[in-house]
Amino acid sequence: MTILIHFHQSHYRNFKAFYLLHLCRHGQGEFPHLLSYNRFVALIPTVLMPLCIYLHTRRGEDTGITFIDATSLVVCHNRRIHSHKVFKQVARRGKTSMGWFYGFKLHLVVNDRGELLAFRITPGNVDDRQPVPDLTQGLTGKLIGDRGYISHRLFQTESHRVCGRLLVVSQAIMADSWRC
């Protein structure tokens, strides 16, 4: 798990180069029993559950000001969708403001200090508004999101669940409905 986190903080763009060129040459002190690249790649899927548990333990505190947003996790280029095999059963085509992609969406909820409060990974075709009720369960205060979260039904659901729990949209189209 440490090696995977270190890779994402490094300047390397692909994991194989990072593992073979950096870790195998310079990481022997930190990782004396380093596995072969092929064996390590085979073990990567076993890290998912411990990583999720770790992220849950590092959850920040609810400060009353919460931000929500989603970003795309592209699995492959659009031209290669038909030949992609790894996530064929779960990845889907989706659209963001930047255009079409094939992969997943990462939905994040953070507080005003940038601490992670909740996250969810969904297929790329899932609407940004769909996971909001689950992601914001137990949070209080104001929720700030971009225009992808504009929904009258979602606004009413969120504002009636807890007084003061409102979906604030950057363009403030529902500003007159902000009172409990």
Give per-residue pLDDT as tens, 81-91.
888 877 888 88
Q: What is the CATH number of domain 65-177?
A: 3.30.420
Compute the C-alpha angle 89/97/136, nearest 5°: 70
Give per-residue pLDDT as tens, 139-177.
888 888 887 777 766 666 655 444 344 455 544 444 444
* pTM (2 d.p.): 0.71
Give per-residue pLDDT as tens, 40-67.
989 988 888 898 898 888 899 999 888 9
All CATH 3.30.420 domain ranges in the chain, comma separated: 65-177
The more confident residue out of 78 and 39 is 39
